[in-house]
Every structure is written in C-alpha cells, then in structure tokens.
Amino acid sequence: MSDLLEDLWAAYASTLGFAMVNAFFALATYATLSAGILSFAAVTYGAAGGFLGAQLLLNTTLPLPLIFLASALAGLVMAMIVAALFLRLESHWMALSSLALVLITRVVVLNTPGLTGGVNGLSLPAPLSMIWLVALLALAVFGFWLLDRSWYGIAAKSVREDPSVAACLGIDPRRIQLIAMAVSGLAGGLGGVLMAMMLQFVSPDTFFIHVAFTMIAGVVLGGSHHWFGPVLGAAVFTALPTVMQAVVPDLQDIANGAALLLIMIFLPRGLLDPRAIRLRRAAK
C-alpha cells in the first residue's frame, strides 16, 4: 500500500507542484478580475519576478525568502507601470492592451540576453522544495481571504458589478483598481519566480500566451467570484492533461479541450460559485 502511494506521489508530485504555481497566476488574474478588470498582464509580472529571481539565485547567495520578496516586489513595480499606462482604458481595450503586453514581453525578453539569457534562457540549479510552495500558497490564499473580508473586498465587488454605481456610493473605482493591480503584481511576481524554480529553467517561452490562457481558464473554471476558485481551477486545469494522457493518450489535447468546453457550458459560473452555495443553503 505504501509502495503504491509512493509511486503515485512520484508520478504526480510535479503535477501538484505546477498546479500550485499556476494557482499563483490564477490568483493574480483573479485579483484584477474581482475589481472588474480583465487583464492578462500577470504574465508580464511573472516574467519580471521570474527573471529577477533567476538572476538573484544564480549570482547572489541571498536567502530564499528575500529572493521571493524581491521577485514579488519586481512584479509590483511592473504592475504599477502597467496601471499608470493602462488603467484609464475601457474594459475591452484594457484586455486587448494587456494581451499586447504579453506579446511585447516576449520580444523584450528575447532581445535582452544580458538580463534574461535571450533565446537560450537561464538554467537554475536547485529544485524548489514542496514545503516552500505549500507555505507560500497558504500565505497567499490567507491574504486573499483577508482582503475579501476587508472594506476593500466589499468595495471591489461593487466596482466589479457597476463602476458608476460604486462611484455614486463614494467609492473611487480608480483607487480600488489600483490596489487590485498591486495585489495582482505581487502574486504574479511571486508566481514567476516559483515557476522558474519549479521548471529549473526560464526562457522567453516560459512566460507567453499559454500562461495567460492557463490562468484565465483556471480562474473562470474554478469560479471567479470566490478567492478559492482560482486555486481550484488552476488545479483542475493543470491536472486535466495528465489525467487525459492516462485515459486517452492519442487524443489527449482534443479530450482536454472538450472537457474544458463542457465544464464551461454546463457550469458557466465556475466550479465554486458562492451564489449557488447561498441559494442551496437558503433552500434548506
């Protein structure tokens, strides 16, 4: 029995690890989405955190917590730059701009080999221990839980539902969205360095469109109205390919897409939907 468990662990430990790393990106997207901004820019925050973290790991002997902190701050700085440029755009344009930013990020990474290793990327020596990952994710989830219960959480919900009404109630939507971007930057930057350590490798393709789509799919799949939704969604979206490979190896990708499609059509508000839970409770 314990052998079986060990085998399972060996086979799925990395899936679990990537599920947790993707959870950071999903949380970063959720942070802005919960204030009514659809943004893919967390990929860029991740690149900032990932490459800074990789350089620090390779060239300095800083302790890990400081590296995590520095990477999260790199994400934050990037998020503030993005906020200064993009926050005045309307929602559709904001989404398009952030997608364009992801494309630009890759070109910049490719063409600054001194900082990022260019096409060849950077290889990192030591793997990341699972304990760090669990601890950081727990910390992040705790942070989101606190935010959700705070004054900010309530204000963000109203801005998401209707910014004009929120403004009439005395909430400054711009300020709420700025805070949301800051939170997104921190989570994205941290996710970036964790992704780099998990892969033990960063290259221009580490932070590209597929990450953007993974994280947005994670959020919407898990449920974009609850702080635990993104974590759940990222886990499902990361585990799906592994499971499908075990079940239908030849048509893995097609089965993936079909599963995603079915979940979306039949559970459009995501797997974890606070409204449905409340309704069920009220019915009892």
Q: 15 or 256: whose CB is closer to another protein?
A: 256
> Do the beta carbons of residue 161 and residue 47 sit within 8 Å?
no
92 is an interface residue for another protein by CB under 8 A: yes
Residues 97-126 that bind another protein (CB under 8 A): 97, 99-101, 103-104, 107-108, 110-111
Q: Which of 28, 95, 147, 176 binds another protein (CB under 8 A)?
A: 95
Place of tokens 């597929």: 210
Q: Any idea of the CA torsion for 188, 191, 197, 201, to the nearest 10 degrees?
A: -50
Between CA 245 and CA 247 the distance in angstroms is: 6
180 is an interface residue for another protein by CB under 8 A: no
Q: Which stretch binds another protein (CB under 8 A): 45-53, 147-155, 183-191, 220-228?
A: 220-228
Binding mask 140-169 for another protein (x = CB under 8 A): ------------------------xx----
DSSP state of 112: -
Binding mask 238-257 for another protein (x = CB under 8 A): -------------xxxx-xx
Q: Which stretch binds another protein (CB under 8 A): 15-23, 82-90, 124-132, 191-199?
A: 82-90
Between CA 45 and CA 217 the distance in angstroms is: 18
Between CA 47 and CA 53 the distance in angstroms is: 10
Q: 62 or 209: whose CB is closer to another protein?
A: 209
Give the nearest distance from C-beta 95 to another protein in angstroms: 7
3-state secondary structure of 111: coil
Place of tokens 């730059």: 81
What is the rounded radius of gyration, in angstroms, for the C-alpha atoms of the chain?
19
# of chain residues touching another protein (CB under 8 A): 42
Residue length of the chain: 284
Binding mask 3-32 for another protein (x = CB under 8 A): ------------------------------
Between CA 24 and CA 46 the distance in angstroms is: 10
Q: Which of 261, 278, 279, 280 binds another protein (CB under 8 A)?
A: 261
DSSP state of 120: G
CA nearest to 113, candidates 197, 37, 202, 221: 202
Which residues of the chain form contacts with another protein (CB under 8 A)?
36, 38, 85-86, 89-93, 95-97, 99-101, 103-104, 107-108, 110-111, 164-165, 213, 216-217, 220-221, 224, 251-254, 256-258, 260-261, 264-265, 268-269
